[in-house]
Amino acid sequence: MLSMQLQIVCNWTAPVAKAGHRRGPGFASQPALSHSRAMNESMIQKPDYETALREAGVRITRPRRVILGILSDAEDHPDAMEIFKRSVAVDSSISLSTVYRTMKLLEGIGAIHRHAFEGGPSRFEPAVGEHHDHLIDIETGDVIEFHSERIEELQQEIARSLGYDIVHHRLELYGRRRRKK
């Protein structure tokens, strides 16, 4: 039986998933595995975008400040249109172009990550904390972050055995909440 193999390491209580596409663990009905961890809320830090931008030598403008604020506050993985809508709610003069340009800029300096989850526009998340992969709830669109050092190692081994160095990778699990019985 599979669960017998699981070594329980921590048993943090995860918050129930909220509506929308929330960042962070939506829900965990069981403890995380020894070789993996779900990311919990304490891992969600607010990135200091302004410093990052200054270091990149770009100007800090009002639209950028607004968008950056939206990104900092986002607890989900919003797409450009969603970021645009939230930005417009703060400053109605902001344009979608500027959102896209800012996303590209931030991605360029490594401040955010772009995810092209299947069948939809790119979604973004602040590049804070450690690397993680994603489990996408195919019914709600919720995204749960997790990390498995074992899988990372195995990927490295496989790439090496094929004669390659990994530049980056993408691991996405698309799943459905197991209804508790």
Residues that bind DNA (CB under 7 A): 58-64, 79-81, 91, 93-98, 100-104, 116, 120-122
Q: Is 128 in the site for a copy of itself (CB under 8 A)?
A: no
Helical spans, DSSP H, in 74-148: 80-90, 96-108
Q: Is 167 in the site for a copy of itself (CB under 8 A)?
A: yes
Q: Which stretch binds a copy of itself (CB under 8 A): 29-37, 43-51, 52-60, 84-92?
A: 29-37
Q: Is 96 in the site for a copy of itself (CB under 8 A)?
A: no
For residue 106, what are the CA distances in angstroms to 13, 62, 147?
Answer: 33, 15, 23
Beta carbon nearer to DNA, 33 or 127: 127
Beta carbon nearer to DNA, 115 or 177: 115
Quick check: 91 and 63 in contact, CB under 8 A?
A: yes
Q: Which stretch binds a copy of itself (CB under 8 A): 89-97, 102-110, 124-132, 144-152?
A: 144-152
Beta carbon nearer to a copy of itself, 130 or 165: 165
CA distance linking residue 138 with residue 142, whole number of Å: 8
Helix (H) or strand (E) holding 63: helix 62-73
The 10 Å CB-count burial string (b at 16+, else e) for 54-80 is eeeeeeeeebbebbbebbeebebbbbb
Least Å distance, CB 126 to DNA, is 17
| Angle subtended at Cα 127 by Cα 90 and Cα 142, rounded to the nearest 5 degrees | 70
Contacts with a copy of itself by CB under 8 A lie at: 2-3, 5-6, 25, 27-33, 35-36, 38, 116, 118, 135, 137-138, 144, 146, 148, 150-151, 154-178, 180
